[in-house]
Amino acid sequence: MVAYPPLRHGGDMLQIDKLTKRFGDKIAVVTANVSIDKPTMIGIIGRSGAGKSTLLRMVNRLSDATSGTITFEGEDVTALRGAARRNWQSRCAMIFQQFNLVPRMDVVSNVLHGTLNRRSTFATMFNLYPQSDIHKAIEILDRLGIAEQASKRAEALSGGQQQRVAIARALMQDPKIILADEPIASLDPMNAQVVMQSLRTIHEEDGRMVIANLHTLDTARRYCDRVIGMRDGRIVFDGTPAQLTTGVARDIYGAGADFSEAATSTEIETLDRPEVREAEAYV
């Protein structure tokens, strides 16, 4: 009998294994399994309450899993504590729908905040940044097409510009993974495209993994290599944009035969209105 070498496990870059999150009686994420073997741009879709944010927050360790594991390059991320956990959070930077910038602070300082967890308390208190970090911040802003905004207050920028500042702040950490929780949900269609294109470029040029929760199907299809669909806390689809047919989408959204993709399109100008988002989720 020929002895075959054992199948290799653990070769995956990011491995999510039976990940579950409970909030009291409510199960937000149920035994989620995802294997990502190389830096990929992934979109997570699903209606409101499906568990998309909870999943991303567990990956970033903003929220602890109830059970299950997350492994990155062979390291059990779910077990990290204290400084090791903070270190993980800078390797896997997160951006949010509402940008989370300091509004009254200038753009460069906001970007330099991305270096906070490797600076001393003293340097932080007196706003002391090494010249090299300042140069790096300006370079990143330039790459994102907003270097001329560097000295303005963050609050003076448009939503799309502010989200690019948040991306710049994430890039200051030189992360392996960028997690984006509905990065374009507050933006008009044009700014939404600029921000998605920035994430795509960062993925392609730097080889960073990007995982984005997205509210619209067409965005997931246009920018992502792989789409994960969630419904009621479960992963119900994991495949390519081509495999994401209207029938599959209808299943993910739990919609009837009258499901219309147009209703989940970024072309809807009132995208940032909550009542429209609600309506979209229930078509």
Ligand X SMILES: Nc1ncnc2c1ncn2[C@@H]1O[C@H](COP(=O)(O)OP(=O)(O)OP(=O)(O)O)[C@@H](O)[C@H]1O
Question: What residue ranges bind ligand X (CB under 6 A)?
Answer: 23, 26, 28, 46, 48-54
Q: How far is the CB of 220 from ligand X (least distance, A)?
A: 13
46 binds, among ligand X, Mg ion, none (CB under 5 to 8 A by kind): ligand X
How far is Cα 116 from Cα 129, in angstroms, rounded to an integer? Answer: 10
Residue (of 210, 207, 199, 219) closest to 268 by Cα position: 219
E strands, 78-117, are: 92-96
The smaller minimum CB distance to ligand X, of residues 152 and 250, is found at 250
Q: How far is the CB of 135 from ligand X (least distance, A)?
A: 37
Whether 17 contacts 186, CB under 8 Å = no
194 binds, among Mg ion, ligand X, none (CB under 5 to 8 A by kind): none
The smaller minimum CB distance to ligand X, of residues 108 and 263, is found at 263
43 binds, among Mg ion, ligand X, none (CB under 5 to 8 A by kind): none
Q: How many CB atoms are closer than 10 A to CB 98?
A: 14
Q: How far is the CB of 281 from ligand X (least distance, A)?
A: 7
In DSSP terms, which residues pair with 42 in a beta bridge?
211, 226
49 binds, among ligand X, Mg ion, none (CB under 5 to 8 A by kind): ligand X
Which residue has 């039976």 as its token pair? Answer: 18
Which residue has 């399994």 as its token pair? Answer: 33
Q: How far is the CB of 63 from ligand X (least distance, A)?
A: 8
Whether 69 contacts 19, CB under 8 Å = yes
Could you say which of 29, 32, 34, 53 contacts Mg ion (CB under 5 A)?
A: 53
185 binds, among ligand X, Mg ion, none (CB under 5 to 8 A by kind): none
Residue (of 151, 53, 172) closest to 105 by Cα position: 151
How far is Cα 266 from Cα 263, in angstroms, rounded to an integer? Answer: 9
Candidate ranges 50-58, 77-85, 157-165, 249-257; the one touching Mg ion (CB under 5 A): 50-58
Q: How far is the CB of 52 from Mg ion (least distance, A)?
A: 5
Q: Which residues bind Mg ion (CB under 5 A)?
A: 52-53
